[in-house]
Amino acid sequence: KKYLEECSQRKRLYNEVIELKGNIRVFCRCRPLKQDEVANGSTSIVDFESSQENELQIISSDSSRKQFKFDYVFKPEDNQEAVLVQTLPVVTSVLDGYNVCIFAYGQTGTGKTYTMEGTPENRGVNYRTLEELFRLSNERSSIMRYELFVSMLEVYNEKIRDLLVENSDEPAKKLEIKQSAEGTQEVPGLVEARVHGTDEVWGLLTLGGRARSVGSTNANELSSRSHCLLRVTVVGENLINGNKTKSHLWLVDLAGSERVGKILAEGDRLKESQFINKSLSALGDVISALASKTSHVPYRNSKLTHMLQSSLGGDCKTLMFVQISPNVADLGETLCSLNFASRVRGVEHGPARRQT
Ligand code: ADP
């Protein structure tokens, strides 16, 4: 009984915060300057010293400043644990039956994969979230029974491919989106692997990562040009009142947002970049429509947003990491990413505040 009271108290508090701040959060993460950038004499274009909390000041080449505000700003020295702490309240609500989507957006090389996947020594949001979901579900085991399933897929050139194929030497299976009788978007045939602990999860992520590169000549190149989605399905049963819940947590490493030069891009490369632009702007349109509460939300404009339709909007929670580089050479792309992020948040950036 005490537990149920705690749950409803937590839900009430959560809903009060949602009333105030909405269901959409945008976090900005700036990676450190790389060794070769420092060696080339590059200095950071992000002025954290004179930025207020959750604010970012960008110094342009003419020394003018632009200011951006987010729900949270991570500095280059903030580690993976610091990122998890801010992310946890959103991701753990999947155990309470909410659908959740987390995206990493930005130019290639800004740390999208570092934030989501991380490295074996410095694991990212995907692994750490699952670790927390297992811990919390054990903690609640006298009242709730949870089963966790993991799926992994990729959207490349508007085609969906299952990455959890049994034989990783085979090219990944192609999938389509179907509407279920209840009106939700499903991907029939997508492998859902039951997972009992983090060791199994790490194995699956490695398997999925390998399947991603089959059939491509340059794995890194391809991974920056496709969206990689990890879906965690949580099936819960309340052992006291028998209520059942099913919810999804989507963890999405998006394709690189950089514009490909018109002269360089031809043939396949041009097609790829058109598909990426189309799906990233479709995602921006959907989130900004949700943030501004307009009645029409254009989910159908890309495979990505169509597939995620049941997990975006309504009482679903959305979190976007906008990843940026502090290097002056990336200034143009950095401003594009920050403008995109401000637009999805439904707020335009304000005039620059001068350093005093
Ligand atoms: P993307 O997925 O956006 O292409 P990556 O995640 O591959 O970018 O990051 C590019 C490089 O920068 C990698 O070597 C990564 O380890 C490093 N990196 C990115 N973000 C950070 C960070 N916050 N701290 C330390 N290294 C980082």
Residue 156 neighbours by CB under 8 Å, 6+ apart = 222, 225, 226, 227, 275
Q: What is the rounded distance in angstroms from the CA atom of residue 19 to the CA atom of residue 312?
A: 17
* Residue 155 Cα to chain centre, angstroms: 14
| CA 28 to ligand 1 center in whole angstroms | 14
Please name which of 345, 334, 149 lies closest in space to residue 259, comparing C-alpha atoms: 334
- Region of 314 on the Ramachandran plot (φ > 0 left; ψ -120 to 50 alpha; else beta): left
Is residue 104 within a helix (H) or strand (E), and if so which, with residue range?
strand 100-105
Choosing from 27, 114, 126, 320 the residue with most ligand 1 atoms within 8 A of its CB, the one to mutate for a pocket test is: 114
Encode pLDDT of 117-176 as tens digits.
Answer: 999 999 999 999 999 999 999 999 999 999 999 999 999 999 999 999 766 555 556 789
Please tell me the residue having the least CA distance from ligand 1 atom 20: 111
| CA 37 to ligand 1 center in whole angstroms | 13
Query: Which pLDDT band, with edges at 50, 70 and 90, does 20 fall under?
Result: very low
Choosing from 28, 30, 31 the residue with most ligand 1 atoms within 8 A of its CB, the one to mutate for a pocket test is: 31
* Residue 107 known to bind ligand: yes
| CA 232 to ligand 1 center in whole angstroms | 24
Q: What is the rounded distance in angstroms from the CA atom of residue 69 to the CA atom of residue 322?
A: 12
8 Å CB contact between 71 and 53: no
- Which atom of ligand 1 is closest in space to residue 107's alpha carbon? 3
| CA 228 to ligand 1 center in whole angstroms | 16
pLDDT of 79 above 60: yes
8 Å CB contact between 70 and 322: yes
| CA 110 to ligand 1 center in whole angstroms | 6
* Residue 113 known to bind ligand: yes
pLDDT over 90 for what percent of the chain?
63
Please name which of 104, 46, 116 lies closest in space to residue 75, comparing C-alpha atoms: 46
How does the average pLDDT of the chain come out, rounded?
87
Query: Which pLDDT band, with edges at 50, 70 and 90, does 351 fall under?
Result: very low
Q: What is the rounded distance in angstroms from the CA atom of residue 60 to the CA atom of residue 135?
A: 45
| CA 272 to ligand 1 center in whole angstroms | 23
Give residue limits of the domains in the chain.
21-344
* Residue 339 Cα to chain centre, angstroms: 17
pLDDT of residue 348: 47
Residue count of the chain? 356
* Residue 119 known to bind ligand: no
Q: Return the axis-axis angle of helices 80-92 and 125-139, rounded to nearest 10°.
A: 50
Encode pLDDT of 40-59 as tens digits.
Answer: 998 899 998 887 889 999 99
- Which atom of ligand 1 is closest in space to residue 323's alpha carbon? 3
Please tell me the residue having the least CA distance from ligand 1 atom 18: 111
Output the CA–CA distances (angstroms, integers) from residue 59 to 28, 108, 246, 285, in the order listed: 16, 21, 46, 28
Q: Return the axis-axis angle of helices 331-344 and 267-291, rounded to nearest 10°.
A: 40
Q: What is the rounded distance in angstroms from the CA atom of residue 46 to the CA atom of residue 57?
A: 6
Q: What is the rounded distance in angstroms from the CA atom of residue 132 to the CA atom of residue 73?
A: 23
* Residue 108 known to bind ligand: yes
Mean pLDDT value of segment 204-223:
70
| CA 121 to ligand 1 center in whole angstroms | 13
**Residues with C-beta less than 6 Å from any ligand 1 atom:** 31-32, 106, 108-114, 224, 323
pTM, whole model, 2 decimals? 0.90
Q: At 310, is the secondary structure helix, strand, or coil?
A: helix
CATH number of 21-344: 3.40.850.10
Q: At 49, is the secondary structure helix, strand, or coil?
A: coil
pLDDT of 10 above 70: no
